[in-house]
């Protein structure tokens, strides 16, 4: 088991730094405000995530075959919300279009909030479930990592979200995230392990790195 605590000393200085983190063509500018800056580029959802995300939709199809439209919930942060992007370039709009191009009658609900942490996503889960989703993408944790929050807190919040979705009968694709390298290797390992453990525990479809 990966230890998910006690990284405060290593992160104390790093958490106050301004960092530029380039990954997968998506630029994150992290300032003292601890929020994403505008995205310079967005990954192509049609090619990057469609195969795995389609699995979530397929999981929902059997249970809701009598419904004309499948509602897919995207619960996340600015990566889901599309902060700094034209609406047409946002992940949710691109994914919905890609799935419809494949012949799936899907409506994707954008429940992304820029700057949100896993705790924020957990707090607004009831609101998101009001959409009565047939399946969900859970993409949270990037801001936890950028703020150097304890991986144990991330685990607890995501575990609560996945447990609730399971209780509601909503199949999930869990999108993983990696911690910025400036917090050290031990923190990065613990952070990454959170998603692996939760995917195994809940039997979620798992996409290791959302970026």
User: Is residue 122 a part of any domain in this protein?
Assistant: yes
Helix (H, G, I), strand (E, B), or coil: what is residue 70?
strand
CATH number at residue 142: 3.40.50.1110
Give the integer Cα–Cα distance in Å for 110 and 112. Answer: 6
User: Is residue 94 a part of any domain in this protein?
Assistant: yes
For the chain, how many helices (H) and strands (E)? 10, 7
User: Is residue 1 a part of any domain in this protein?
Assistant: no
- Condensed to tens digits (0 to 9), the pLDDT of residues 20-41 reads 222 222 222 222 222 333 333 3
Between CA 62 and CA 68, with CA 67 as vertex, the angle to 5 degrees is 115
User: Is residue 50 a part of any domain in this protein?
Assistant: yes
Query: Structural domain tally of the chain?
Result: 1
Could you list the residue range(s) of the whole structural domain that residue 177 is in? 8-207
User: Is residue 3 a part of any domain in this protein?
Assistant: no
User: Is residue 90 a part of any domain in this protein?
Assistant: yes
pTM of the model: 0.69
- Condensed to tens digits (0 to 9), the pLDDT of residues 114-167 reads 778 899 989 999 988 988 888 888 989 888 888 888 999 999 999 999 999 999
Q: 52 pLDDT exceeds 70?
A: no
């Amino acid at each position: 088991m990966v230890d998910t605590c006690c990284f405060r000393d290593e992160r104390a200085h790093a958490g106050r730094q301004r960092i530029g983190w380039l990954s997968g063509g998506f630029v994150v500018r992290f300032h003292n405000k601890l929020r994403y800056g505008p995205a310079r580029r967005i990954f192509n959802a049609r090619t990057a995530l469609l195969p795995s995300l389609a699995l979530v939709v397929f999981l929902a199809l059997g249970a809701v075959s009598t419904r004309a439209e499948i509602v897919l919930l995207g619960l996340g942060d600015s990566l889901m919300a599309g902060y700094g992007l034209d609406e047409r370039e946002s992940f949710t709009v691109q994914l919905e279009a890609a799935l419809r191009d494949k012949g799936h009658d899907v409506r994707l609900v954008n429940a992304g909030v820029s700057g949100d942490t896993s705790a924020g996503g957990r707090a607004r889960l009831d609101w998101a479930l009001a959409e009565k989703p047939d399946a969900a993408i859970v993409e949270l944790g990037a801001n936890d990592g950028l703020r150097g929050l304890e991986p144990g807190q991330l685990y607890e919040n995501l575990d609560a979200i996945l447990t609730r979705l399971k209780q509601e009968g909503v199949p999930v694709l869990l999108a993983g995230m990696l911690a910025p390298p400036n917090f050290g290797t031990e923190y990065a390992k613990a952070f990454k392990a959170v998603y692996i453990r939760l995917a195994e525990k809940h039997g979620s479809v798992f996409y290791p790195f959302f970026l």
